[in-house]
């Protein structure tokens, strides 16, 4: 049985609050310091788009694509779409839908620092309650149920287009 965890209004309120906190980091920054916002494909796109509409600073945008799941089974991390932007001396923001184990976020954080990033911020809408990753911005902490909607897919691969988040 599927149950709504967060409806569109709750998500919108949370996104606005997170964007407000993010805006506080860049008051009147010179252009040379514009950050690189990095939506993590596939799931992070919806959250990124809604946050980005509410940011008051300009930034570079460059997606990365990472696979770490085959259905519901966690596997090896595969980077299938890399940054096209030089990250040297820039703040890099990793923006994703959910932080499950923290492995993908840790992998990308290390990769960004290896490429010369000045600082890496990590932002997700959801985080599993037992995930050890420290995030700079997080909307909700959830239990271990499989969730889908708002960019995240159902175990059958569908469901990403819903404006709500459900648990299976």
Confidence tier at 156 by pLDDT (50, 70, 90): confident
Q: What is the mean pLDDT of residues 5-28?
A: 93
pLDDT over threshold 90, residue 69: no
Q: What is the mean pLDDT of residues 64-87?
A: 83
Q: What is the mean pLDDT of residues 78-105?
A: 95
Report whether 7 contacts 150 (CB < 8 A). Answer: no
Q: What is the DSSP string of 52-78?
A: HTT--S--EE--EEEEEEETTEEEEEE
Q: Give pLDDT, residue 74.
A: 65
Q: Domain 3-25+36-167 has what CATH class?
A: alpha beta
Of all residues in the chain, the percent with pLDDT exceeding 70 is 92
Q: Give pLDDT, residue 2.
A: 80
Domain boundaries along the sequence of the chain = 3-25+36-167
Nearest 5°: the CA angle 49, 26, 44 is 20
User: 20-47, pLDDT tens digit by residue?
Assistant: 999 998 877 666 578 999 999 989 999 9
Q: Give pLDDT, residue 157.
A: 81
Dihedral angle sign, alpha carbons of residues 95, 101, 106, 108? negative
Indicate the pTM of the whole model.
0.91
Q: Give pLDDT, residue 73.
A: 58
């Amino acid at each position: 049985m599927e149950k709504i965890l967060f409806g569109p209004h709750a998500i919108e309120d949370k996104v606005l609050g997170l964007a407000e906190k993010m805006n506080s980091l860049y008051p009147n920054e010179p252009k040379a310091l514009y950050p690189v916002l990095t939506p993590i494909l596939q799931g992070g796109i919806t959250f990124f788009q809604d946050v980005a509409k509410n940011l008051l600073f300009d930034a570079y945008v460059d997606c990365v694509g990472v696979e770490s799941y085959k259905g519901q089974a966690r596997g090896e991390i595969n980077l299938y779409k890399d940054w096209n932007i030089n990250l040297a001396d820039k703040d890099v923001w990793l923006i994703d839908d959910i932080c499950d184990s923290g492995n993908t976020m840790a992998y990308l954080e290390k990769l960004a620092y290896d490429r010369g990033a000045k600082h890496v911020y990590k932002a997700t809408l959801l985080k599993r309650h037992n995930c050890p990753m420290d995030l700079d911005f997080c909307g909700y902490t959830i239990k271990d149920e499989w969730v889908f909607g708002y960019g995240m897919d159902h175990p059958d691969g569908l469901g990403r287009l819903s404006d709500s988040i459900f648990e299976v």
